Amino acid sequence: MRRLLLALPFALLPFTVAHAHDDHDHDHGTLGAHEHGVAKLNAVLDGSTLELELDSPAMNLVGFEHAANSDADKAKVAAVRQQLEQPLTLFGLAAAAGCKEDAQVLESPLFGDTAKADDDGDEHQHGHQHSDIGAHYQFNCAAPEKLAQIDLAPLFKAFPATQKINVQLIGPNGQKGVETSPGKAVVTF
């Protein structure tokens, strides 16, 4: 499942380096900066296979980054996980493309995983750990030629604290990077 997205960081490195200086909020000098309100989405359409990989600070999705200790926090994490388990309601894909989910992997320290803690692993200057949530989906599309765009409006609506999604696309027309927002939520291949 990972073969397409493994090449993505290398294919898009020039784009990432060119835009790394635009991120001043939580930069710490790394390319994989953790910035509240901003998520990343990698989308690869290769033949009939569509892969989507969403990486977001937990703050954008659940409203906090600490371990879920209270019943209210645990309920919020469970609700967000349930939303993420239904990607066809979060990503607007053309029905005519006939995309069906083949596989999904959800990762976050909030889900009991330890692998998705922020890259630097140190406490942030505000005195708390960063927690990210990662979601990787693979779809098989019966008519991939009809998949011309992805509408992220349902994702923005489901998680209103997400103000911007930086999208990296690789598809039949090449590769590109697009910055989306609730008012500009459609990306085309």
- Reported as a single tens digit per residue, the pLDDT across 124-150 is 344 456 789 999 999 999 999 999 999
**Which residues of the chain fall below pLDDT 70?**
1-34, 113-129
- Give burial (CB, 10 Å; 0-12/13-18/19+) of 23: middle
Q: Is the pTM of this model over 0.85?
A: no
d(CA 47, CA 150): 16
pLDDT of residue 30: 33
Domain ranges for the chain: 3-19+38-188
pLDDT of residue 33: 58
- Reported as a single tens digit per residue, the pLDDT across 30-43 is 335 568 899 999 99
d(CA 135, CA 106): 5
